[in-house]
Amino acid sequence: MPGDPQEATELPDRPRGRHGAWDDDDLESLDGPTRPAQDRSTGDVPDQSRGDGTRGSGDGDDGGGDDGDDGQGPDEDTDPAELDDEDIDGEDEVDFAVVVYREAGTWHADPLPTDAVDTWAGFRATVGQRSSETGVIGIASLDESALVLLRLTGAGEQILLSDIETADYLVFSDDLVEYLRRTDPAVDELVESTDFGDAEEPVPVGQLSLLSDLGLSGDDLRELCEDLGGEPEDLLEEIGEALGIGRTLGEAVDAAVAAGG
């Protein structure tokens, strides 16, 4: 006789960040349901969700969904479709990414492969592989909605996200903001005070002064973010002109877009 199926474990009521996804600690803390015993005479699995979304009837009928409650799908709390949403997976959030650096007094800019920088951790690691006399600046456009600046020097790292609002629906932005919150109490306060979804203009978060020694003050960068934070290509163009590297930066962005497309 087939064994009694074990009740499905319910996911805890604690969504990851603001996306409703589950992080590794959440998933590892769950004891997945034990697969019920199989009837060797028929090969059937007792009343339990199968990989194809149907439920076995226990009497050998592969279409077991016509009798009673057997035809109902998995409980909505554990519906895989809810966990496979593109926004939750963070797929295709990076429009393009480039790295800017200076050698022998000359600025250079190279495109970065989008498959290597499609997460905050991947972006940070990839930019960190470069080095130059003044450090490197990694730049990424997210979902045509925000710009990320990451400057790495011998003194450490400085980070700026042009619009914190994107942390409400982009995994990349949310991971970046959570990274900042761990080391900067001001970011934590900004997150707690931000009315996500209702901000009238972009709200930059991070170190606005990261380009001040290169000719773009924190006040000017804040103004650019507030005016153009939701339009990353326009914001990047203004930054390039302010630093005197507009053409070099534009060529790298064109190459990155072409490679990603």
Tens digits of residue pLDDT in 149-177: 999 998 899 999 999 999 999 999 999 99
Residue 230 pLDDT level (bands cut at 50, 70, 90): confident
Backbone φ and ψ for 141, nearest 5 degrees, come out as -100, 130
DSSP secondary-structure letter at 77?
A: G
Residue 186's contacts (CB-CB under 8 Å, 6 or more residues apart) are none
What is the model's pLDDT at position 98?
96
Task: Please tell me the distance from the alpha carbon of residue 194 to that of residue 35, in angstroms, as a whole number.
Answer: 45
| Confidence class for position 193, pLDDT limits 50, 70, 90 | confident
The pLDDT, as a whole number, for residue 12 is 44
The mean-pLDDT minimum among 114-123, 164-173, 226-235 falls in 226-235
pLDDT tens-digit profile of 26-62? 434 434 444 444 444 444 544 444 444 444 444 444 4
Q: Comparing 218 with 23, which gets the higher pLDDT?
A: 218
**What percentage of the chain has pLDDT greater than the value 90?**
46
User: 126: pLDDT confidence band, cut at 50, 70 and 90?
Assistant: very high
Q: Is the Cβ–Cβ distance between 159 and 165 less than 8 Å? A: no
* 169 class by beta-carbon count within 10 Å (0-12 exposed, 13-18 middle, 19+ buried): middle
Mean pLDDT of the chain: 75
Measured between alpha carbons, how far is residue 47 from residues 43, 44, 78, 79, 171 in Å?
13, 9, 16, 17, 36
Query: Of residues 195 and 217, which shows the higher confidence score?
Result: 217
